[in-house]
A and B are shown apart, each in its own frame.
Chain A
Amino acid sequence: MKDVTVIGAGVAGLCVARVLRDRGAQVRLIDRHDGVGPHACSWWAGGMLAPFCEGESAEEPVVRLGQEAARWWDAQTRCVTQNGSLVVSLARDTSDLTRFARRTEGFDTVTQSQIAQMEPDLGDRFSKGLYFPTEAHLAPRQALSVLRDGLIKDGVIFEVADADPTDHARRGLTVDCRGFKAKPNLPDLRGVKGEMLVLSCPEVTLHRPIRLLHPRVPLYVVPRGNGIFMLGATQIEGAAGHHVSARALLELLSAAYALNPAFGEAEVLEIGVDSRPAFADNLPRIRRDGTLIRANGLFRHGFLLAPALARMVADVVFDDTRPEVMDEIAA
């Protein structure tokens, strides 16, 4: 039986542990913190499983590999809502919608009345939209917890420690899934800051993630159920700080207000910020150095790409293959 240690229990580490366990490995998961929580950037994720929408600006592998995500998460956690996603723009920004349509696939163009029917709380504010019926979303924190509980049940040992993967790899097969913490070992990794808000607004009901296109302040809103919404979209290069700027809040909230003025009355439950690990092309990487495998760089695609990344890590472990996102093998 393969014996593997996974270091880092964020979305990458949990998915890798799950797939390795399913393929018959004996897995130990080490993290500096106990349990899922705000220390991992996946805690702050939007949870959109929207490979086609991401294709607007992401490279082709994101669209292709991301299509595995909804089925995987649904099978593993039952936390997935398969209700598509909707992209809209305000009247003066329709050229952004046209461009979005030109650069994506897998959508139906929907009219004002169709939008009002799908999402009555958007009313007739949007004359045209793009509906991506095969896309889905999940509740990230719940999904992480379910995944963790399942691993514990299946005999995966969780250990709280500040482990050094290089050191650990001397004793056996080790997968480094520490995200941005692996920066000293992965010098080409950078942090891309993202800010998010959680609002409670029981007056508003949305059935699926909504993306509001805007040349300066794009926004997405993901419904969490029970009148809870997650708002996000900021993506700031060169500012991997850990505070949320007033401007970001102002922009996110004004955009939400444009979507539905009732958001103006919402209760702010949480304000969050994270620094997402990314490589230069914003695609994930697997790197191997003997018994040490590093899987990193999920960027803003943690939940979307972690299942595919985990599958490829398992291929490396069990079949000694060289998956497409593997760019470096040392002896």
Chain B
Amino acid sequence: MVRRFYGTTLANGFMLGTAQYPSPAILADAFKRSGAAVATVSLRRESGQTRAGQDFWKLIQDLGVHILPNTAGCHSVKEAVTTAHMAREVFDTKWIKLEVIGEEDTLQPDVFGLVEAARILSEDGFQVFPYTTEDLVVADKLLNAGCEVLMPWGAPIGSGLGLNNVFGLRSMRAHFPDVPLVIDAGLGLPSQAAQAMELGFDAVLLNTAVAKAGDPAAMAQAFATAVSAGQMAAAADPMEPRDMAAPSTPVIGKAFLE
């Protein structure tokens, strides 16, 4: 089942961040080898004023993939809304990954501020990709606020812990069968990305695991392969786990062992 992101069908379920790479050349190489369909870009509020960051933005635009600007590091509704407006101007896109951080240590989203900011931005014509938790009630409120995509965390940003609450994520998938869902944050290894896709998520978004790897381009390709494997597995209708052993070879006709 292919779910569309605000009307856009993505070539694959890999969204890759653009921060923390050793150099822009390595960043470009990582994108080339990953084939990622979407690049997320963090904006600092100061950068829009001077318009001086254009060289870096141009490098990102030259990647030739969909750009999803990000309100990374915003701690209030007002900050996030201002940043979103700047992003729309800089990148000429309605897409915005909405981050409203509520807790400094875990960088956990402030879900109350998130819903409020999502409503303001959706009413203003933005297409909001909210970074949220796996909480179903919050998810419902985000959809009511105008979001058509949800991005629950796997684990805290940059932690590399993988899918912390598989049960919660599975039930989110089951509750919102028609909504595109993206695992955003916390992935450290390709196997975790594959797991997310096997659970039926539409995409994964990650940054640190690739950017901080010793060989970012190779790690990007490894993640791309895992995303594709997980996606293929989900589409192939995986077997249900069961408690008893089920031999794959029939026992009838075998000699009795005494």
Chain A interface residues toward B at CB < 8 A: 57-59, 99, 102-103, 189-191, 215-216, 236-243, 245, 275, 278, 280-282
Contacts and interface: CB of A to CB of B under 8 A. Distances in A.
A245 B24 contact: no
Interface in B14-52: 19, 22-26, 28, 41, 43-44, 46-47, 49-50, 52
A278 B49 CA distance: 22
Given A215-B158, A280-B59, A241 B25 contact: no
Given A237-B56, A280-B59, A58 B47 contact: no
Contacts of B24: 190, 237, 280-282
A240 B46 contact: no
Nearest to A56: B22
15 contacts: A57-B22, A59-B22, A102-B214, A103-B214, A190-B24, A190-B56, A215-B158, A216-B158, A237-B24, A238-B41, A238-B55, A240-B53, A241-B52, A275-B52, A280-B25
Nearest to A243: B46
Contacts of B47: 238-239, 241
Interface in B204-233: 212, 214
Contact of A282 (B23, B50, B55): B23
B55 A190 contact: yes
Contact of B46 (A59, A99, A237, A239): A239
Given A58-B22, A280-B23, A280-B28, A241 B55 contact: no
Nearest to A238: B53
Contacts of B46: 239, 241, 243, 245
Contacts of B57: 238
A237 B56 CA distance: 6
Interface of B: 19, 22-26, 28, 41, 43-44, 46-47, 49-50, 52-53, 55-57, 59, 158, 212, 214
A239 B55 contact: no
A275 B52 CA distance: 10
B52 A191 contact: yes
B215 to A, nearest CB: 11
B233 to A, nearest CB: 31
Given A58-B22, A238-B43, 20 more contacts: A57-B22, A59-B22, A190-B24, A190-B56, A190-B59, A237-B24, A237-B53, A238-B53, A238-B56, A239-B52, A239-B53, A240-B52, A241-B50, A242-B50, A245-B46, A280-B28, A280-B59, A281-B23, A282-B23, A282-B25
A240 to B, nearest CB: 4
Nearest to B48: A239
A237 B47 CA distance: 9
Nearest to A245: B46
B214 A239 contact: no
Contacts of A190: 24, 55-56, 59
Contact of A241 (B26, B49, B158, B212): B49
A191 B52 CA distance: 8
Contact of A191 (B25, B41, B55, B212): B55
A99 B214 CA distance: 9
Nearest to A95: B160
Given A103-B214, A280-B59, A239 B23 contact: no
A280 to B, nearest CB: 4
A78 B212 CA distance: 37
A208 B105 CA distance: 30
A308 B56 CA distance: 27
A236 B25 contact: no
A238 B50 CA distance: 10
Contacts of B158: 215-216
Contacts of B49: 241
